[in-house]
C-alpha cells in the first residue's frame, strides 16, 4: 500500500495517534497563551503592511482586534484555529522512521507549516472583521464574503488540514533518514582503501 503502510496497520496507527493525541491535548491547551502571543504578534506585524489602521493584539488565549485605536468586542479564541496542531503532532510521532533526526525534522516542518497557516488565518479573520465594520458604516457592499469563507473553511477543516500536512510529509520522504551506506559513500573517496578492511580500493569493494 502507499506510504509503506499495509492495510491492517492503518487502524493500529490511527489508534496510537488517538491515544497520543489525548496525551498531547493538555500540553497544547497550556501552550495556547504562548502560541497566541507569537502568532498574534507575527500576524499583526505582517498585517500592518496591508492596513495600518488595524492591529492584532494577543490577550492570553484570545486574540483581539484594534481598529483605528478602538478595541473591538469580537475576540478570537486561538484554540479555534490551532486544534489541528496536536492531531498533526500525534500523527508524526507515531509514524515509523529509520532516523530520529528525520522524525524530528518532519515534526519541526509540520509544526512550522501549521504555524504559518495559523498566522494567515488570523490575518483573514482581521480582514473579515474590518470589512464587516466598514459595511456596517456603509451598507450595500459585501466584500467580506471571501474572507468569511476562507477563515471559517480553515477553522472547520482543522482535522483534514492536519492529515493533509502529515501525508505531504510522508510523500516528500521527510521521515526517511540516510542509511549508513549512503553516509559512507558521501565521505569515502573512490580510490581510498575500503572501510571493511579488505585491502582493496573502495570503488572495487563496498563501492562497487
Q: Are residues 163 and 78 in the same domain?
A: yes
pLDDT value at residue 70: 79
Q: Are residues 20 and 58 in the same domain?
A: yes
The pLDDT tens digits for 171-185 are 988 888 765 554 444
Count other C-beta atoms under 10 Å from residue 193's C-beta: 14
Q: Please state, in angstroms and rounded to a whole number, the distance separating the CA atoms of residues 133 and 136.
A: 5
Q: Are residues 207 and 114 in the same domain?
A: no
* Residue that has been written with the C-alpha cell 490551532 in this structure: 82
pLDDT value at residue 16: 87
Q: Please state, in angstroms and rounded to a whole number, the distance separating the CA atoms of residues 21 and 89.
A: 8
Count other C-beta atoms under 10 Å from residue 161's C-beta: 19
Q: Are residues 66 and 99 in the same domain?
A: yes
Q: Are residues 145 and 197 in the same domain?
A: no
Q: What is the pLDDT along the chain (208 residues), one digit of tens a residue?
A: 344 444 557 777 788 888 899 999 999 999 999 999 999 999 999 998 988 888 899 998 999 988 877 777 668 999 999 999 999 999 999 888 888 888 899 999 999 999 999 999 999 988 888 887 777 665 655 666 777 888 888 989 999 999 999 999 989 888 887 655 544 445 667 777 877 777 787 777 876 6
Domain of residue 201, residue span: 180-208
pLDDT value at residue 39: 95
pLDDT value at residue 205: 80
List, in order, residues 6 or more apart from 18 with CB less than 8 Å away: 90
Number of domains comprising the chain: 2
Q: Are residues 101 and 190 in the same domain?
A: no
Q: Are residues 97 and 187 in the same domain?
A: no
Q: Are residues 147 and 185 in the same domain?
A: no
C-alpha grid cell, residue 76: 478570537
Residue 201 bridge partners (DSSP) = 193
pLDDT value at residue 4: 47
User: pTM for this one?
Assistant: 0.76
Q: Are residues 200 and 105 in the same domain?
A: no
Q: Are residues 145 and 198 in the same domain?
A: no
| DSSP calls for 178-195 | PPHHHHHHHHS-TTSBPT
Q: Are residues 116 and 185 in the same domain?
A: no
Q: Are residues 124 and 195 in the same domain?
A: no
DSSP 1: -
Amino acid at each position: 500500500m502507499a506510504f509503506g503502510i499495509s492495510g491492517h496497520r492503518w487502524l493500529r496507527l490511527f489508534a496510537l495517534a488517538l491515544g497520543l493525541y489525548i496525551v498531547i491535548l493538555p500540553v497544547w491547551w497550556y501552550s495556547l497563551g504562548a502560541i497566541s502571543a507569537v502568532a498574534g504578534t507575527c500576524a499583526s506585524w505582517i498585517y500592518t503592511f496591508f492596513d495600518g489602521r488595524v492591529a492584532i493584539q494577543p490577550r492570553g488565549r484570545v486574540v483581539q482586534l484594534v481598529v483605528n485605536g478602538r478595541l473591538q468586542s469580537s475576540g478570537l479564541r486561538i484554540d479555534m484555529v490551532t486544534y489541528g496542531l496536536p492531531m498533526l503532532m500525534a500523527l508524526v510521532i507515531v509514524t515509523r522512521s529509520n532516523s530520529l533526526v528525520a522524525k524530528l525534522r518532519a515534526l519541526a516542518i509540520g509544526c512550522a507549516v501549521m504555524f504559518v497557516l495559523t498566522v494567515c488565518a488570523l490575518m483573514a479573520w482581521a480582514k473579515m472583521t474590518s470589512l464587516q465594520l466598514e459595511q456596517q458604516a456603509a451598507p450595500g457592499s459585501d466584500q467580506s464574503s471571501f474572507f468569511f469563507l476562507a477563515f471559517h473553511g480553515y477553522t472547520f477543516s482543522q482535522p483534514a488540514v492536519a492529515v493533509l500536512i502529515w501525508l505531504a510529509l510522508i510523500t516528500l520522504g521527510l521521515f526517511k533518514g540516510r542509511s549508513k551506506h549512503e553516509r559512507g559513500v558521501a565521505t569515502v573517496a573512490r580510490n581510498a582503501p575500503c572501510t571493511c578492511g579488505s585491502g582493496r580500493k573502495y570503488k572495487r569493494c563496498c563501492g562497487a
